[in-house]
């Protein structure tokens, strides 16, 4: 029976981290189903969705993760997931996207994400970046959010609420539908 696992890892950025994790997955007779990887400051962070069918897959993953922690100085965590692969309900959701840009200040992520949660919109990916403006050096914050709205969501009402939050924060907001990835 196929079992699903979530695995996260973080370690000082260096060449070979992806290879180390991919080899662990291969050695445990698992399949990499989905992944997200990024550099955050000087650290490399990874989130993986794995599946495996062997009876001892959990034990093998646990041993392999401990080995990577010891030998490669990675902090690795994994856990089994309940149920099967991602549900069909996720495929019915309406894929949307917004980009928020403005002078960096506290509360932008909190306010926008709370607005989305209050409207039952699921954030599927979020990335942020703060960079100095070339001429003045003022920190400019950019946040990109991919989201999934339940079928029947009033997109105009969602856009209006997000635009009110953006106005309160004095940031720009671009809101759009995005292409379905299936």
What distance in Å separates the CA atoms of residue 21 and residue 9, rounded to the nearest whole number? 9
In Å, what is the CA distance from 106 to each residue of 4, 95, 126?
A: 37, 27, 17
Query: Given this model, what pLDDT does residue 182 score?
Result: 54
For 111-151, the DSSP string reads HHHHHHHHTTPEEEEEEEEEEE-TTT--EEEEEEEEEEEPT
Q: Which domains does the chain have, with CATH numbers?
A: 3-81 (3.30.70.260), 89-177 (3.30.70.260)
Residue 85, pLDDT score: 62
Predicted TM-score (pTM) of this structure:
0.81
**In terms of C-beta density within 10 A (0-12 exposed, 13-18 middle, 19 or more buried), how is residue 163 classed?**
middle
Please answer whether residues 125 and 36 qualify as being in contact, where contact means their C-beta atoms are separated by less than 8 angstroms.
yes
Please report the pLDDT score of residue 92 as a whole number. 82
Exposed/middle/buried for residue 104 (C-beta within 10 Å: 0-12, 13-18, 19+):
middle
pLDDT (tens, 9 = 90+) of the chain, 182 residues, equals 899 999 999 999 999 999 999 999 999 999 999 999 999 999 999 999 999 999 999 999 999 999 999 999 999 999 999 876 655 455 689 999 999 999 999 999 999 999 999 999 999 999 999 999 999 999 999 999 999 999 999 999 999 999 999 999 999 999 998 876 65
Q: CA 124: distance to chain centroid?
A: 6
């Amino acid at each position: 029976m196929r079992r699903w696992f979530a695995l996260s890892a973080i370690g000082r950025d260096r060449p070979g981290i992806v290879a180390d994790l991919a080899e662990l997955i291969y050695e445990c007779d698992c399949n990499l189903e989905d992944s997200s990887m990024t550099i955050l400051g000087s650290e490399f962070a990874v989130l993986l969705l794995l599946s495996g069918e062997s009876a001892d897959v959990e034990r093998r993953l646990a041993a392999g993760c401990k080995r990577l922690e010891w030998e490669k100085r990675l902090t690795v965590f994994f856990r089994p997931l309940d149920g099967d692969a991602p549900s069909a309900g996720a495929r019915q959701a309406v894929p949307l996207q917004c980009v928020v840009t403005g002078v960096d200040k506290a509360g932008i992520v909190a306010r926008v994400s709370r607005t989305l949660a209050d409207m039952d919109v699921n954030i599927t990916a979020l990335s942020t970046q703060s960079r100095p403006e070339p001429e003045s050096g003022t920190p400019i914050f950019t946040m990109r959010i991919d989201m999934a709205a339940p079928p029947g969501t009033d997109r105009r009402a969602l856009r209006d609420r997000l635009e009110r939050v953006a106005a309160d924060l004095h940031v720009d907001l671009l809101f759009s539908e995005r292409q379905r990835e299936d």
